[in-house]
Amino acid sequence: MTDRYAVFGNPVSHSKSPMIHAEFAHDTGEKLDYTAIEAPLDGFAEVWQAFVAEGGRGANVTLPFKEEAFALCDTLSHRALRAKAVNTLIVGGNGRLYGDTTDGIGLVRDLAYHRLTLEGKRILVVGAGGAVRGILEPLLAASPSEVVIANRTAEKATALASDFTDLGKIEGGGFAAISGQFDLVINGTSASIAGEVPPLPENLFAKGAWAYDMMYGADPTAFLLWAGPRGARLLDGLGMLVEQAAESFFLWRNMRPETASVREALRQSLNY
């Protein structure tokens, strides 16, 4: 019987995860079925349990269910405990549920794919929501000189930074407190969905700096369109999506898929 996996979200019809995992399965020779399942906003646990009862072996979890998935798990990875959210579920042979988050490692591997080193670099992360929480541990593990979190609500950024001070130099505050230039600026807000840009200083980017939007699309995001004329080199979150999916696939199948061809196929699919 073919092993069943899925991505849960609401909405989820736009998800590229089924395409990505179909490519991974084809390339590795693994036999699995991967679908997108939209759970009601108040019914994730019930839909997940029905999926497991029908033989589901694991899943990815996207907005808005990552925190609910975290709460359902019997065992959690260290990085999931740090993030307080789960994007990868694994049903064990004993029926116990293991949760992990691969978002942060997906980001760091995407940066490495583009030969962007973080050691000794000054990094600004914009936003203080769950998406940002999930990337901070891997970013700090790469030994940057400093990570600064900026958020519209300064207190939220400060509180988030305080949860990670044991891992490296990190601080948080409001947009008005941003000072100096950065080697990497990561937009972890959803502002790009609405075509908006956070209120960032004009002189934000150091020479040779990168601007990274965790969102992606067929066209550059509003944040990247803003950053380009201000001297930044640009990356969107498509590679992060592929790399976090590859880590999930490895956790499920103990096989690490090649990602370069999947990146290219996904990029081309956005233009149709």
Q: What CATH number does the domain containing 86 carry?
A: 3.40.50.10860
What pairing do the DSSP bridges indicate for beta strands 88-91 and 97-100?
A: antiparallel
**Residue 247 forms part of a structural domain:** no
Last residue of a domain, one of 100, 133, 159: 100
Same domain, 69 and 135: no
Q: What CATH number does the domain containing 157 carry?
A: 3.40.50.720
Last residue of a domain, one of 70, 100, 130: 100
Cα-atom radius of gyration of the chain, to the nearest Å? 18
Same domain, 24 and 118: no
Predicted confidence at residue 194, as pLDDT, reads 86
- In the chain, helix, strand, coil percent, each to 5? 40, 25, 35
**Is 31 in the active site?**
no
Report the C-alpha dihedral over residues 86, 87, 93, 97, rounded to 10 degrees.
30
Same domain, 35 and 129: no
Alpha-helical regions (H) of 59-153 = 66-72, 78-83, 103-113, 130-141
Looking at the structure of the chain, the number of domains it has is 2
Binding residues for NADP(+), by number, are 127-131, 151-156, 214, 237
CA–CA distance, 161 with 148 (Å, rounded to integer): 8
**Would you give per-residue pLDDT tens digits along the chain (272 residues)?**
789 999 999 999 989 999 999 999 999 999 999 999 999 999 999 999 999 999 999 999 998 999 999 999 999 999 999 999 999 999 998 889 999 999 999 999 999 999 999 999 999 999 998 889 999 999 999 999 999 999 999 999 999 999 999 999 999 999 999 999 999 999 999 888 888 999 999 999 999 999 999 999 899 999 999 999 999 999 999 999 999 999 999 999 999 999 999 999 999 998 76
Binding residues, by number, are 15-17, 62, 87, 103, 127-131, 151-156, 214, 216, 237, 244
Instruction: At 32, list the tokens.
Output: 């699995």
Q: Report if pTM > 0.85.
A: yes
Same domain, 116 and 18: no
**Residue 269 forms part of a structural domain:** no
SS3 call for 88: strand
Same domain, 143 and 234: yes
Last residue of a domain, one of 53, 75, 100: 100
Same domain, 222 and 109: yes
Binding residues for shikimate, by number, are 15-17, 62, 87, 103, 216, 244
Catalytic residue among 66, 84, 121, 207: 66
Same domain, 114 and 198: yes
30-58 pLDDT, tens digit per residue, is: 999 999 999 999 999 999 999 999 999 99
Same domain, 193 and 130: yes
Predicted confidence at residue 152, as pLDDT, reads 95
Q: Give the structural domain span for 119.
A: 104-238
Predicted confidence at residue 272, as pLDDT, reads 63
CA–CA distance, 103 with 77 (Å, rounded to integer): 13
Same domain, 195 and 233: yes
How many CB atoms are closer than 10 A to CB 114?
11
